[in-house]
Amino acid sequence: MSLKETVDSFITFCEKLSIKINKENVAILCRSKRLVSDIAKTFGEREAVQKSLIDNYYDIWDPNFFWGRDICHGKYLIDNGEYKKGYKLIEMGLFKFLNQNLNFSQDALRNFVQKYNFIKWRKQVHETVNLIPITSLQLGAWISQFPKKIVGIPLIHNLNKVLKNREYAELEISSIFDRTNSIIEKLPFRLGTIHSVKGETFEAVLLVINNKAQNTKYSTILSKTIPGKLKDEELRTLYVAITRPRKILMLAVPIEDYNMWRSFFN
């Protein structure tokens, strides 16, 4: 069953029990922000959302600053916990900057790094990551705080030469690369992480669980748990979630973990 089918089934079940679907009564909770995003996108006409992201991504920047959008996007991903993806984008942006070439391929990057010196290149990318300002800013403020030099080369900070339209300077960077929050706001139910609803209660809660908590499988955590004693931090977090509903609690788990969780709660 897909994420959307799971949510639809839960909502239908609530309606059958005459629970009014609104943000005060019904909540769908997840352990990670990534899972929240995945669920949100299934309700945001995924293809249209992705097209909107791509349009924004390319239409905002001046062609002469083509490498900057990759670096901005990469830093945004790093700031939101996706280091590997963000690092690769920043590396791609640096490659385009140094070569002043919009075209990019892994083969071209590999050949470039061999000539540049692998250790020196890695050090340069890491230094760039640390120099780039955080992305919880408006785009104009982010550009004004951008380093004056990258790999020793002076940069232009004139908004008129970086953005196609100066009005784009007032855009929040998060609105360029992620529409998850705008989708969530339009949903008729509450969707968020477990921590986001701490202290609140609802008529009905759907708790969506992956097979892993951080880097550890739940099967490993549960195998070390003494019944009645929730010593593990992850299980205490789940306890917060299962004590949020006043009437209905529904769990959605991977099919291969179904018997494990059923046994645990029994």
| Whether residue 88 is found in the same domain as residue 150 | yes
| Whether residue 99 is found in the same domain as residue 161 | yes
Range of the domain at 18: 3-43+187-265
Total domains in the chain come to 2
d(CA 133, CA 115): 29
| Whether residue 167 is found in the same domain as residue 200 | no
How would you class 248 by CB atoms within 10 Å of its CB: exposed for 0-12, middle for 13-18, buried for 19 or more? middle
Q: What is the pLDDT of residue 232?
A: 67
- Rounded to an integer, the average pLDDT of 201-207 is 97
Last residue of a domain, which of 179, 196, 226?
179
Residue 70 near residue 92 (C-beta atoms within 8 A)? yes
> Residues of 203-217 as b/e, b for ≥16 C-beta within 10 angstroms?
bbbbbbbbebbeeee
| Whether residue 73 is found in the same domain as residue 145 | yes
| Whether residue 121 is found in the same domain as residue 194 | no
| Whether residue 75 is found in the same domain as residue 151 | yes
| Whether residue 26 is found in the same domain as residue 63 | no
How many CA atoms lie less than 13 Å away from 152 in the CB half-sphere? Answer: 1
How would you class 116 by CB atoms within 10 Å of its CB: exposed for 0-12, middle for 13-18, buried for 19 or more? middle
Q: What is the pLDDT of residue 198?
A: 85
Q: What is the pLDDT of residue 156?
A: 60
Quick check: 68 pLDDT over 80?
Answer: yes
- Rounded to an integer, the average pLDDT of 41-51 is 57
| Whether residue 52 is found in the same domain as residue 172 | yes
**Higher-confidence residue: 179 or 117?**
117
Last residue of a domain, which of 121, 145, 179?
179
Q: Which of 31-45, 78-92, 150-164, 230-244 comes out lowest in average pLDDT?
A: 150-164
Q: Residue 248 belongs to a domain with what CATH number?
A: 3.40.50.300
Last residue of a domain, which of 151, 179, 207?
179
- Rounded to an integer, the average pLDDT of 252-265 is 88
| Closest listed residue to residue 132, CA positions, set 151, 141, 145 | 145
| Whether residue 202 is found in the same domain as residue 217 | yes
| Whether residue 61 is found in the same domain as residue 22 | no
- Rounded to an integer, the average pLDDT of 12-27 is 96
Residue ranges with strand state E in the chain = 26-30, 149-150, 153-154, 190-193, 202-208, 212-213, 216-217, 245-252
- Rounded to an integer, the average pLDDT of 210-221 is 78
- Rounded to an integer, the average pLDDT of 256-263 is 88
| Whether residue 197 is found in the same domain as residue 81 | no
| Whether residue 129 is found in the same domain as residue 220 | no
